[in-house]
């Protein structure tokens, strides 16, 4: 009985660890259904599309996207953008521009609640 209970607990913990977390993905564009195309974590300088996948419908008209860049080992705010979203949807895309190489963190907020985040590295074009 103890082995069975331990197995059930282990499986429950493993299943919880595999759930998709709320995230911001970085892509070269989106398809007609709004899903990211050519997504990744490393890009050269230029324009990208951020794709936010939230756990729940947005239930708001706008979200705030905060872009931070690493400087001297700390993330410093670079800019904020307001993105219009569909209240009933859980996915939204928005334009991003990265013209300075470095490490970036992008966080999406509904009022003061963080609803997604992602990190990427931008390198110079040669």
44-80 confidence digits (pLDDT tens): 999 999 999 988 999 999 999 999 999 999 999 999 9
Specify the number of domains making up the chain. 1
Residue 99, domain member (yes or no): yes
State the pLDDT at residue 126: 67
Residue 11, domain member (yes or no): no
Own/partner pairs, 81-88, CB within 8 angstroms, 24+ separation? 83/108, 85/58, 85/60, 85/61, 86/58, 87/57, 87/58, 87/59, 87/60, 87/61, 88/57, 88/58
pLDDT at 1 over 80: no
Range of the domain at 47: 21-123
pTM of the predicted model as reported, rounded to 2 decimal places: 0.78
5-14 confidence digits (pLDDT tens): 433 444 343 3
Residue 60, domain member (yes or no): yes
Residue 27, domain member (yes or no): yes
Residue 88, domain member (yes or no): yes
Residue 4, domain member (yes or no): no
pLDDT at 19 over 50: no
CATH code: domain of residue 43: 2.60.40.1930
Residue 39, domain member (yes or no): yes
Residue 91, domain member (yes or no): yes
């Amino acid at each position: 009985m103890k082995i069975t209970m331990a197995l059930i607990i282990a499986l429950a913990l493993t299943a919880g660890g595999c759930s998709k977390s709320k995230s911001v993905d970085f892509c070269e564009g989106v398809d007609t259904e709004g899903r990211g195309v050519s997504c990744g974590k490393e890009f050269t300088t230029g324009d990208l599309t951020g794709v936010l996948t939230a756990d729940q419908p947005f239930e708001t008209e706008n979200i705030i996207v905060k872009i931070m860049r690493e400087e001297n080992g700390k993330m410093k705010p670079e800019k904020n953008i307001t993105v219009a979203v569909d209240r009933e949807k859980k996915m939204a895309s928005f334009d991003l521009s990265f013209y300075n190489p470095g490490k970036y963190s992008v966080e999406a907020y509904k009022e003061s609640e963080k609803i997604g985040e992602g990190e990427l590295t931008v390198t110079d074009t040669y």
